[in-house]
Structure 1
């Protein structure tokens, strides 16, 4: 009589913990895209040029990317549950400051604070799920599948929710909406999550962290400003300085005792391939969503609510493809599913390149269905391939580094595609669509190149437990 009770008792707890952990991942991914359909309203309020609007997106993404490198270690040092709850509280405070911002510069700084605190919600949330699963790989993988789906839904639903909020309550509510989400997540976590005491962790690589933040900020900042000011004066100097700091960062990582990025792991083909393809996927998606938002609001003159609803197909296909990816990987292998997903997304971008000054929602629908459908297949598959190639003790650092690189790729996409659309939104969306399709077809070709060498064995469940969409 007692054995069934013992075996079944963790299952309800795992479900509730997964729900609590999903609040944090949902809100961090939501804020990647919810602001896009509010950009025009923010620009009118503050008379902000396109370059400042790009910074509103990239300040969040860059801070999130930089802090992801160390968020796992911070969670270990203070305990995942405590780190997650504090992350929700601080993210809510930063969101409130965003909503109360009096000008574009203060809003950009608050967005960076959002990104930095949001990083505390990702590795600790996975640690909470792993702890509640009690070592059951199958149930842990299933729970992370739902956690992954929550992130996919939120990043796709962001423009829809943002458009409705801008039209009904005003643009400041795209930030205030985070407050009840963070509050509910913190309360639920305190109630249902089991205690997770701190555990010994390596000392943080502060030098590596500072170099990484400075390098990516200078490079992406140069891309944003260079696209608008031209490559004279400080944008060119900032690009050179950023690339120099990037070189110093890589040199430091080779010598550091506890590096924030395990370079040895990324020397293996599946690992560097995951970085290349993952960064390309984020580059094209973040950049294209930014451009499409400006295209709908400015070229088509749509109200924010209608523009947001046009993104609705992204949500459904993200859910289906995310949940299907794991099953396809088990049948076809990570390599085939990654390549197939990338090609599907490339086809979607090619279709968006056909949009014009009088296009409607029906013309957008095929591309908007294929893009997230392909991404939802590819990202879990390439992450599984990465984690199957590294030792278990490298899995957390490798996953954090991969997702940091992907976020930097997304920030670069906003910078470059935003410059293309700053003068002519129609021409910008067409050129961005062509560039995205070409980039992803190139990435698929790299995936399909003959491979050599052997990867390190690792359980597929462990791979699934580290997926960050």
Structure 2
């Protein structure tokens, strides 16, 4: 390679690193907040004298707001420009994180967690849209960019318990929120140099669609969260489920007739789009729910401290890093199908490995599933995300990203609620929950292999 070729290579590589690095900061803080809080809950309960219900809403207020508003944020990014919405999301998330750190009671913390969810809903679809449009004409670069972006989020989820344990060891629970503020500030400053993305012609905003979607999803998740507290026969529970179903039907009718729907139903005409959305739902529901149960298992059954429990999740971080890098190389060579199928196979093996967990399981026996589960996800998720984006026009990438991430976040909240409910009742119930959640996850993920092979229409 001569000096001119070297200079060109550096010029090409520099914008790639800058764009991916800047957009990944948003994914880092948003995904970090999904997992970092679990380790801190006992300390928050002591600080605020909070009961279990209040703690549960502190966790899920963020996820609910994130999930219910992401569809609108995706559409707004396509209409108003992804860069502007990306900067707005970082600003809101940073302010909300500071508010969480300074909160004075459970209700103020829940309110600021909702605001964090609003910020995440704005910056996640817009960050992925920036990536998609920046490398729209370079398929290999786009696959590589999405893989690195996904890797950043995956590592953040896995590293959340570790970082939370370390921060609480040197300070207290408030620091897990304050750590987000400088990251958001750096992201805002760096994003100034990003190019603005293409926009749709402004045809208005789908307020009825957003309102009905928000009510449908909020009622559904709230019913699942409170199910193990109130019981299915409680009128609040079945009333919320009926209300959610009615609102969802109304939402579909509104979207069918809307001139600028937040959920363009024509996207679902693609079998590839549908099966990849189902893949995202299954992976997130299994992973979030299982990790939640494992956090209880490590601390309440095996007796690990918060710091040691956090460090025990270190293999998950390593698994995500290794597999995301491999996924990018596999996509460049084989397309999206092979990484997805390989990831599902490895993930199935990992969840099956957790079936050995009992009250006295030594950590070395848990190491294998702890590293293979994230390796499976790390292979499949970048390819899944790239596949979703390839099914739509680049000007609709923000909406497609929002649909994917909305369904994944909603599935994650449901996974925590369902698997967490099984763990309610002492150490024996927690051990049983690990076994049942692992078996369910393994069966569901293995079943997807057959759907992918039959319905995935892209290489």
TM-score of the alignment, normalized to the shorter chain, above 0.5: yes
Deviations 1:76-107 (A, max 9, x none): 44433332222212101101111122222222
> Could you tell me whether the CA contact under 8 Å between 1:76 and 1:200 is conserved in 2?
no
Q: CA deviation at 1:330?
A: 5.3
Residue 419 of structure 1 aligns to a residue whose secondary structure is helix
Q: CA deviation at 1:63?
A: 1.4
2:75 corresponds to: 73
Deviations 1:439-462 (A, max 9, x none): 44334324415977895x8xx8xx
1:378 corresponds to: 380
Counterpart CA distance in 2 for 1:224 and 1:138 is 41
Deviations 1:219-248 (A, max 9, x none): 111111111221213122112211221222
Query: Relative to 1, partners in 2 of residues 1:234 and 1:325: Cα closer, same or farther, differing over 3 Å?
Result: same
Deviations 1:230-278 (A, max 9, x none): 1213122112211221222122222222222222322432222112221
Say yes or no: does 1:115 pair with 2:117: yes
> Could you tell me whether the CA contact under 8 Å between 2:75 and 2:262 is conserved in 1?
no
Q: CA deviation at 1:409?
A: 0.4
What pairs up with 1:225-236 in 2 under 5 angstroms?
Answer: 225-231=226-232, 232-236=234-238
Picking from 273, 278, 287, the partner of 2:289 is 287
Query: Relative to 1, partners in 2 of residues 1:281 and 1:130: Cα closer, same or farther, differing over 3 Å?
Result: closer
Counterpart CA distance in 1 for 2:78 and 2:449 is 34
Q: CA deviation at 1:29?
A: 1.0
Counterpart CA distance in 2 for 1:251 and 1:176 is 43
Picking from 350, 366, 369, the partner of 1:367 is 369
1:208 corresponds to: 209
Query: Relative to 1, partners in 2 of residues 1:181 and 1:11: Cα closer, same or farther, differing over 3 Å?
Result: same
Query: Relative to 1, partners in 2 of residues 1:255 and 1:363: Cα closer, same or farther, differing over 3 Å?
Result: same
Counterpart CA distance in 1 for 2:134 and 2:298 is 44
Query: Relative to 1, partners in 2 of residues 1:368 and 1:439: Cα closer, same or farther, differing over 3 Å?
Result: closer
Q: Which piece of structure 1 moves more, 226-235 or 263-272?
A: 263-272
Structure 2: runs of 5+ lacking an equivalent: none
Q: CA deviation at 1:286?
A: 0.9
Deviations 1:23-81 (A, max 9, x none): 11111111111111112222232333333323222221121122221223323444333
Q: CA deviation at 1:187?
A: 2.0
> Could you tell me whether the CA contact under 8 Å between 1:214 and 1:245 is conserved in 2?
yes
Say yes or no: does 1:305 pair with 2:311: no
Deviations 1:96-133 (A, max 9, x none): 11112222222222111101111222232234445655
> Could you tell me whether the CA contact under 8 Å between 1:24 and 1:121 is conserved in 2?
yes
Query: Relative to 1, partners in 2 of residues 1:396 and 1:318: Cα closer, same or farther, differing over 3 Å?
Result: same
1:352 corresponds to: 354
User: Structure 1-normalised TM-score?
Assistant: 0.88
Query: Relative to 1, partners in 2 of residues 1:23 and 1:204: Cα closer, same or farther, differing over 3 Å?
Result: same
Residue 85 of structure 1 aligns to a residue whose secondary structure is helix
2:404 corresponds to: 402
Residue 170 of structure 1 aligns to a residue whose secondary structure is coil
2:240 corresponds to: 238
Say yes or no: does 1:37 pair with 2:52: no
How many aligned residue pairs are there? 456
Deviations 1:414-460 (A, max 9, x none): 111111112224533433443343344334324415977895x8xx8
2:319 corresponds to: 317
> Could you tell me whether the CA contact under 8 Å between 2:255 and 2:265 is conserved in 1?
yes
1:428 corresponds to: 430
2:225 corresponds to: 224
Residue 356 of structure 2 aligns to a residue whose secondary structure is coil
Residue 69 of structure 1 aligns to a residue whose secondary structure is helix
> Could you tell me whether the CA contact under 8 Å between 1:36 and 1:289 is conserved in 2?
no
Q: CA deviation at 1:2?
A: 9.4
1:258 corresponds to: 260
Say yes or no: does 1:58 pair with 2:60: yes
1:97 corresponds to: 99
> Could you tell me whether the CA contact under 8 Å between 1:288 and 1:414 is conserved in 2?
yes
Structure 1: runs of 5+ lacking an equivalent: 461-469
Q: CA deviation at 1:318?
A: 0.6
1:278 corresponds to: 280
> Could you tell me whether the CA contact under 8 Å between 2:90 and 2:123 is conserved in 1?
yes
> Could you tell me whether the CA contact under 8 Å between 2:345 and 2:446 is conserved in 1?
yes
Query: Relative to 1, partners in 2 of residues 1:284 and 1:197: Cα closer, same or farther, differing over 3 Å?
Result: closer
2:150 corresponds to: 148
Counterpart CA distance in 2 for 1:331 and 1:18 is 21
Counterpart CA distance in 2 for 1:45 and 1:301 is 22
Q: Which piece of structure 1 moves more, 443-452 or 94-103?
A: 443-452
> Could you tell me whether the CA contact under 8 Å between 1:346 and 1:437 is conserved in 2?
no
Deviations 1:355-377 (A, max 9, x none): 22333432321111011111111
